Structure 1
């Protein structure tokens, strides 16, 4: 399997050579899973030499625009392009209804035959928060992570633990620093791709570089950082990390498991 980052930037990235932090997992059988579908995804796919027709399925981690803003485009191109198969859509069951009713319905409900639903555009596979699905022979486990504390409420995102023959690969998705919750996943993973804010100080939505820098050395030695702000980046390698992922960088994860 291969994991390619279409972009590595934060939600508001405007860098000429970067896009929002969406990725493509290419399975051993050649099928491709788009991990999140943000507002600049059509341009990000094009820059990677890919198109909508090259994507077989979508996984949505949470409902911010840099992760779902391209879903209307993706759904319409699937529906209206002759010969394009209806893609699979994997997501936590708590996200399925608000994805349609709060984000997509207003623009996508009216179709030539009448009122559409989400499953007219996608083959929807809702999953429990601790669920598992298989794609191209690989087992992918949902990893619930706290993204935002909002007063008396919370916003959760759902990362992925990707099963490979050499051991799990952790993709955190957007998350606050929460080593107490993630340490079992950190310890189990042979490779970690971690959300990392590089702003001047920690905020309320993402793990900050200064926070991740305090993790044990053996964890940092298996950790790549992504979802950073535009501009100069810290010397992550000198701090013991594998580094910051580059836009369109591809990782060979080895055979699925």
Structure 2
């Protein structure tokens, strides 16, 4: 099982060699789960030598454009190509199913050649209930709801993933604020951590900032890779005790499942 970052940049990246922070979980049988499908997903996939037909399923963490902006392209391309394998599975927290269609995709995708369509015409929709999980490539993936933006009386959550990989659990935070109290139990479980990291000069109100993550315990930072960073120079993450900044198209080996036949 392998995890490849198609891009490692923020929503606003314009670096010609980087893309928004979307990634692929590839199983040993070749099945690929696209984790988020942002606005530049088609170009990010092409840079990795892949097309939409290489993707078996998609997982959506939340509804910002750098995480769902490519779904119209993906859905239409799959629909009109009449791919032999049928609709791709779409995994997402069940609370996102209705707003994804009604608020984000319906205006551009509802009118089809046969009449009015729905999300299920483009994807095999697999809602994940609260406290639920799903299986892909033999691994169990559990959504982890984290605070992304807190504004007055409104909280926007993004749903990271705890991946029960063969070599040990892997935490992918998705977009989130610095919240060590809530995340520490997940940090402690994970063999590897891939963490949202803002590298702008000043901390904002939507992402964990490098200056905040730098205060985490050394044992946590040593297992933590940083992504979703801004274009331009970055701090020396290794010098500060982190595993490093993820590079575009960098791949991580998560191990092979045990042979249960022998």
**TM-score, structure 1 normalization:** 0.98
Corresponding residue for 1:228?
Answer: 229
Equivalent runs, 1:76-225 vs 2, <5 Å: 76-84=76-84, 85-225=86-226
1:17 is the counterpart of 2:17: yes
Q: Deviations over 1:202-256 (max 9, x none)?
A: 1100000000000000000000000000000100000000000000001111125
| CA–CA distance in structure 2, aligned partners of residues 110 and 146 of structure 1 | 35
Q: By how many angstroms is 1:131 displaced?
A: 1.4
Corresponding residue for 2:35?
Answer: 35
Secondary structure, counterpart of 1:232 in structure 2: coil
| CA–CA distance in structure 1, aligned partners of residues 28 and 193 of structure 2 | 20
CA contact (8 A) 2:34 2:57 kept: yes
CA contact (8 A) 1:163 1:256 kept: no
CA contact (8 A) 1:36 1:67 kept: yes
Secondary structure, counterpart of 2:236 in structure 1: coil
| CA–CA distance in structure 1, aligned partners of residues 75 and 193 of structure 2 | 30
Number of residues paired by the alignment? 257
| CA–CA distance in structure 2, aligned partners of residues 24 and 59 of structure 1 | 10
| CA–CA distance in structure 1, aligned partners of residues 256 and 196 of structure 2 | 25
Gaps (5+ residues) in structure 1? none
CA contact (8 A) 1:13 1:19 kept: yes
Corresponding residue for 2:55?
Answer: 55
Q: By how many angstroms is 1:82 displaced?
A: 2.9
| CA–CA distance in structure 2, aligned partners of residues 190 and 113 of structure 1 | 49
Q: By how many angstroms is 1:96 displaced?
A: 0.6
| CA–CA distance in structure 2, aligned partners of residues 94 and 86 of structure 1 | 21
Secondary structure, counterpart of 2:168 in structure 1: coil
| CA–CA distance in structure 2, aligned partners of residues 222 and 160 of structure 1 | 16
Secondary structure, counterpart of 2:160 in structure 1: strand
1:73 is the counterpart of 2:82: no
1:238 is the counterpart of 2:239: yes
Q: Deviations over 1:31-70 (max 9, x none)?
A: 0000000000000000000000000100000000000000
| CA–CA distance in structure 1, aligned partners of residues 52 and 120 of structure 2 | 18
CA RMSD of aligned residues (A): 0.9
Secondary structure, counterpart of 2:143 in structure 1: strand
Secondary structure, counterpart of 1:168 in structure 2: strand
CA contact (8 A) 1:129 1:143 kept: no
| CA–CA distance in structure 2, aligned partners of residues 208 and 83 of structure 1 | 42
CA contact (8 A) 2:139 2:166 kept: no
Q: By how many angstroms is 1:83 displaced?
A: 2.7
CA contact (8 A) 1:91 1:125 kept: yes
Q: By how many angstroms is 1:7 displaced?
A: 0.3
Q: By how many angstroms is 1:165 displaced?
A: 2.4
**Cα gap change, 1:256/1:64 in structure 2, threshold over 3 Å: closer, same or farther?**
farther
Secondary structure, counterpart of 1:187 in structure 2: helix
